């Protein structure tokens, strides 16, 4: 008979509780915004006690940050994988841009979360800074590292990474977050092909 240690059970239960809390927090942030969400609301939505929420998260801002980190980690792994980016530039850039846009455009929860972030950033600038630090900075650094490869011959890899990332985020915001796809329609493939062409031609 396999014996399960008590500390293993506690650890598993703790992981489950954290996941419950994060799911409850996401539900509340999307429904009520950051200002309208309280730790009490999160506890009710998660089906746990308020004490349990505080045993894992010190405050609402810390909970928001962990939720954002979790979302970002999953998305970045899906887009970039777990190994350094390598391969022929046209194929790699097209693949990365396609995956990134698919993640943004097809994930309704992500779009709703971005609306909350943008809407709350005026009153809570620290939330916007968390977003930039946790969500945008790592992606920009990953792209910069790839674009800095000598064979690409790109004069300013960091600025080029920002241009690539900025174009994708702008497309997502105008088409999806702000419901503008019928006003300024464009197929995502056109944008990706143009970006790939601009960057790789710069490297020629």
Q: Which residue has the tokens 């940050």?
A: 65
Q: What angle do CA 44, 47, 53 make, to 5 degrees?
A: 75
Nearest CA to 22 among 55, 46, 52, 50?
46
The pLDDT assigned to 6 comes to: 41
Confidence at 14, pLDDT banded by 50, 70, 90: confident
Q: Mean pLDDT across the stretch 82-86?
A: 73
3 has pLDDT over 50: no
In the structure, what pLDDT confidence band is assigned to residue 193 with cuts at 50, 70 and 90?
A: very high
**Res 68: pLDDT:** 84
pLDDT of residue 9: 38
User: What digits encode the pLDDT tens for the residues 98-129?
Assistant: 988 888 878 888 778 878 888 888 888 888 88
Q: What percent of the chain has pLDDT over 90?
A: 39
| CA separation for the pair 34, 62 (Å, rounded) | 12
91 vs 196: CA distance, rounded Å: 9
State residue 69's pLDDT score. Answer: 85
Q: What is the pLDDT of residue 202?
A: 65
Arithmetic mean of pLDDT, 146-162: 91
Burial 164-190 (b: 16+ CB within 10 A, else e): bbebbbebbbebbbeeeeeeeeeebee
20 or 83: whose pLDDT is higher? 20
Predicted pLDDT at 119: 85
Average pLDDT for the chain: 85
pTM here is 0.75
pLDDT in tens, 45-78: 999 999 999 999 999 989 988 888 888 877 777 7
* Higher per-residue pLDDT: 143 or 201: 143
Closest CA to 133 of 192, 64, 35: 64
More confident position, 44 or 85: 44
The end-to-end CA distance of the chain, in Å, is 65
Give the Cα separation of 158 and 134 in Å (integer).
17
């Amino acid at each position: 008979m396999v014996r399960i240690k008590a500390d293993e059970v506690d650890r598993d239960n703790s992981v489950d509780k954290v996941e419950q809390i994060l799911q409850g927090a996401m539900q509340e942030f999307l429904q009520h915004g950051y200002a309208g969400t309280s730790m009490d609301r999160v506890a009710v939505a998660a089906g746990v006690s308020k004490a349990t929420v505080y045993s894992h998260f010190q405050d609402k801002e810390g909970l928001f940050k962990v939720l954002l980190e979790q979302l970002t980690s999953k998305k970045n792994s899906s887009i970039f994988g777990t190994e350094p980016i390598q391969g022929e530039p046209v194929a790699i850039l097209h693949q990365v841009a396609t995956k990134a846009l698919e993640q943004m455009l097809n994930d309704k929860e992500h779009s709703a979360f971005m609306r909350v972030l943008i809407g709350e950033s005026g009153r809570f600038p620290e939330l916007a800074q968390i977003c930039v630090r946790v969500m945008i900075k790592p992606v920009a650094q990953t792209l910069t590292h790839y674009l800095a490869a000598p064979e690409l011959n790109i004069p300013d890899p960091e600025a080029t990474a920002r241009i690539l990332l900025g174009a994708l985020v702008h497309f997502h915001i105008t088409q999806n977050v702000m419901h503008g796809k019928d006003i300024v329609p464009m197929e995502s493939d056109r944008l990706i092909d143009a970006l790939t062409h601009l960057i790789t031609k710069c490297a020629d």
